[in-house]
Amino acid sequence: MKHSILFLLTASLLITACNKKNNDTLIRVGVFDGHGGAQTCVWETVEAIKIDKEMIVSTITTADIAAGCLDTLDAIIIPGGGGSRQFLNLGYENHQRIKTFIASGKGAVGICAGAYLFSNTPGYASIAINGAQAIDIEHDNRGHGVAKFTLTEQGKTIFPELANRDTNYVVYYEGPVFVDAPDSISFETLAIMQSDVHEEGNAPTNMTNNKPFFIGNNFGKGRVFSTIAHPEATPGMRWLIPRMVRWTISKEYIQYSQNAVRPTIFNKEILFTKEMLSQEADCYKKFLYGTSTEKIEALNWLEQNVSWDAKRWVQGLLYDSSAEVRSRAAQYIANSEFTHYLPDLASANQNENNPEAKKALANALEFLKGI
């Protein structure tokens, strides 16, 4: 009996040691979840990091940063939302902690508002760590949609999966228009914006196109990657986010699943016009008051046009009274790669009694789990 207990204790210690060793080799990423960060941007960024099976991700707050959580991380991400509110939420001392963290050899990725925060922009709340200055900030509500971009030669080395494509597409939502900040850090342009976004906010034409889309720079011993757009919100392109993290900490690039890497989904830009915004609002009314047919028509339109806001509406349709709507909602979530709703898909699938709807839910689950 003593020998058996000793064997079990030895095995347990070995397993613990192995797990500790495996955890030590993982890349630890913290996604800032504080006032100013849009909730869906936080969700999507966390889910994008999960595509990389060698990364573990957690959300971090201002209190966590002040308490020393950066000591346990390899990289941080500031997601989309409002850069000035994030600046205020973090506070001066946490700005300095983040700078010290990166300069020590760690990585940072700024997405949209996060890129704004990282910039050196006069008259804007920023911490000056990426060498860029945002211009035309008075028109930062210029519009959104699927924007087109081209990679530079250096960018192609970071994203070789896209190297043979002349043009690629990623969701853009009122991101910064960058130029070099005078007397600042030197950055390298890794991708160039090719879309002219100016539909809203009385924004001028020819302001966004031919400006940096992705930029990267050294900061002390570490690196900073800034993207003006939202790969984490783009089906087929969410894997760009963990790849950016790997670049910031000089880690070897790994291949991601075929379910994740699908750059051919989009072959044209889709920039929302005022008419499209009105159509989008009508779709949400159909979710609330429409027939089953109207709800499905709305889902079709929203998916075809890559609606930014629909992800916050579609979850409840998994529990709609119509089996056809439940099926289409499951397909929408899978096609949009909104893996944050995997628990809802699993619950809906468990409760589903309609054979066709159950098959649709199971297929959606299987696809998303394969990313």
253 or 20, which is more confident: 253
Is 57 in the same domain as 165? yes
Whether residue 10 is contained in a domain is answered as no
pLDDT tens-digit series, residues 248-298: 999 999 999 999 999 999 999 999 999 999 999 999 999 999 999 999 999
User: What are 203's two structure tokens?
Assistant: 């924004």
Q: Is the pLDDT confidence value at 111 over 60?
A: yes
What pLDDT shows up at residue 340?
A: 96
Could you identify the residue written with the tokens 């192609």? 156
Q: Is the pLDDT confidence value at 357 over 60?
A: yes
What pLDDT shows up at residue 7?
A: 38
pLDDT tens-digit series, residues 78-100: 999 988 889 889 999 999 999 99
Position 333 confidence tier, pLDDT thresholds 50, 70, 90: very high
Q: Is the pLDDT confidence value at 2 over 90?
A: no
Q: Domain holding 327: CATH number?
A: 1.25.10.10
Position 22 confidence tier, pLDDT thresholds 50, 70, 90: low
Is 221 in the same domain as 333? no
Q: Is the pLDDT confidence value at 18 over 80?
A: no
Tell me which of 53-57, 136-140, 340-344, 352-356 is least confident. Answer: 136-140
What pLDDT shows up at residue 37?
A: 74
Whether residue 248 is contained in a domain is answered as yes
Q: pLDDT averaged over the chain?
A: 93
Is 324 in the same domain as 197? no
Instruction: Please give the Cα distance from 346 to 131 (Å, whole number).
Output: 45
List of residues 6+ apart from 206 with CB closer than 8 A: 196
Is 111 in the same domain as 44? yes
Q: What is the mean pLDDT of residues 104-113?
A: 98
Percent pLDDT > 70 in the chain is: 94
Q: What is the mean pLDDT of residues 4-31?
A: 55
Instruction: Please give the Cα distance from 331 to 296 (Å, whole number).
Output: 11
Judged on CB neighbours under 10 Å (0-12, 13-18, 19+), 152 is middle
200 or 22, which is more confident: 200
Whether residue 165 is contained in a domain is answered as yes
Q: State how many domains the chain has.
A: 2
Is 197 in the same domain as 280? no
Query: 49 with 242: CB under 8 angstroms?
Result: yes
Is 44 in the same domain as 191? yes
Question: Is beta strand 107-111 parallel, antiparallel or unpaired with respect to 132-135?
Answer: unpaired
What pLDDT shows up at residue 36?
A: 76
Whether residue 19 is contained in a domain is answered as no
For residue 211, the SS3 value is: coil
Position 183 confidence tier, pLDDT thresholds 50, 70, 90: confident
What pLDDT shows up at residue 8?
A: 39
Judged on CB neighbours under 10 Å (0-12, 13-18, 19+), 94 is buried
Instruction: Please give the Cα distance from 188 to 154 (Å, whole number).
Output: 8
Q: What is the mean pLDDT of residues 326-343?
A: 97
Is 195 in the same domain as 252? yes
Query: 298 with 224: CB under 8 angstroms?
Result: no
* Alpha-carbon dihedral angle through residues 35, 284, 366, 369, given to the nearest 10 degrees: -10
Count CB atoms within 10 A of the CB of residue 67: 11
Final residue in a domain of this structure, among 231, 265, 299: 265
pLDDT tens-digit series, residues 130-173: 999 999 999 989 999 999 999 999 999 999 999 999 999 999 99
Could you give the angle at the alpha carbon of 74 between the alpha carbons of 70 and 80, nearest 5°? 75
Q: Is the pLDDT confidence value at 5 over 80?
A: no
Percent pLDDT > 90 in the chain is: 87
By residue range, what is the domain housing residue 310? 273-369
For residue 54, the SS3 value is: coil
What pLDDT shows up at residue 351?
A: 96
User: What are 231's two structure tokens?
Assistant: 């790969």
Question: Radius of gyration of the chain from Cα atoms?
Answer: 22
Q: Is the pLDDT confidence value at 370 over 70?
A: yes
Is 189 in the same domain as 232? yes
List of residues 6+ apart from 119 with CB closer than 8 A: 126, 128, 130, 132, 133, 134, 176, 178, 181, 226
Q: Is the pLDDT confidence value at 123 over 90?
A: no
Final residue in a domain of this structure, among 213, 234, 265: 265
What pLDDT shows up at residue 83?
A: 84
